[in-house]
Amino acid sequence: MDEHTLLASLFLGVIEGLTEFIPVSSTGHLLLAGHFLGFHSAGKTFEVVIQLGAVVAIAVIYARKLWEVFSTAGSDPQSRRFIASITVAFLPAVVVGVLAHGFIKSVLFETPALISIMLILGGVILLVVDRMPLEPRHDDATAFPLRMSLAIGFFQCLAMIPGVSRSGSTIVGALVLGADKRAAAEFSFFLSLPTMAGAFGYDLFKNRALLDTSAISEILIGFVAAFLTAILVVRWLLRYVSNHGYAIFGWWRIIIGGVALTGLLLGA
């Protein structure tokens, strides 16, 4: 692995950790950055697999809560309901992801202009929702009703279009359905665990023949960078959105999408 590839892997890992859990589309940022850096991974596996680093960060941060839930599931109805809630929210992504995997990876992941447009459109939607006079009815991410969790799961499916943002779609869905801003972010965090772990496992299986030693080295560098960066971002994000909301991320999406689209139109 040459120096350029090493630095690109490290840089993309940091981008992943910074953007996975804020509603700006980590995949969109990774694909656009990779395009302009001239970084290409076999089957776009790098961009999917390093997201597991950010998910491991969530597992570490919420290790005590997760242990409490799973260790008491046999005796505590609230723990069982939380597990059922995340499972129900996860199922739509399983069905759509498996059925549309080839189209997503071969067409949508290879269309930088679409990614740029979705970043801008998603930014506008985030600004609108953040300013809506919504009345929060749910302030505990572990106690969402099952019907609400399923609806959030369908919102998550929109994120299979790169540039939409998995965290963005689930957060917007939760806000519209009555969650407060902190609970919306936390539910998105918890839902990322099975979603991204599943995407990692399925993508690794589908592209196992394309991986070689250099690809594994790139992935490991990106994974570690994503993990360390995400640890810092998650703790900051919950404090920030509780006090300031999501408008800053809407503007960020519009700026990044606009800059990228301009660069593409200029032939970059």
**pLDDT tens for residues 167-213?**
899 999 999 999 999 999 999 999 989 988 887 777 777 766 666 65
Query: In 3D, which of 22, 28, 49, 80 has the Cα closest to residue 210?
Result: 49
Note the pTM of the prediction, 2 decimals.
Answer: 0.83
Q: Output the pLDDT for position 105.
A: 62
**pLDDT tens for residues 89-131?**
999 988 887 787 667 666 666 678 888 999 999 999 999 998 8
Q: Output the pLDDT for position 66.
A: 92
Residue 138 DSSP SS3: strand
The parent domain of residue 173 ranges over: 3-265
- What are the backbone dihedrals phi and psi of residue 179, each rounded to the nearest 5 degrees, phi first? -80, 150
**Cβ-count burial 127-158 (b if 16+ within 10 Å, e if not):** bebbeeeeeeebeebbebeeebbbbbbebbbb
- The pLDDT of 14-21, averaged and rounded, is 87
Highest mean pLDDT among 100-109, 141-150, 240-249: 141-150
Q: Give percent above pLDDT 90 in the chain.
A: 41
Residue 179 DSSP SS3: strand
Number of separate domains in the chain = 1
Query: In 3D, which of 113, 110, 161 has the Cα closest to residue 261?
Result: 113
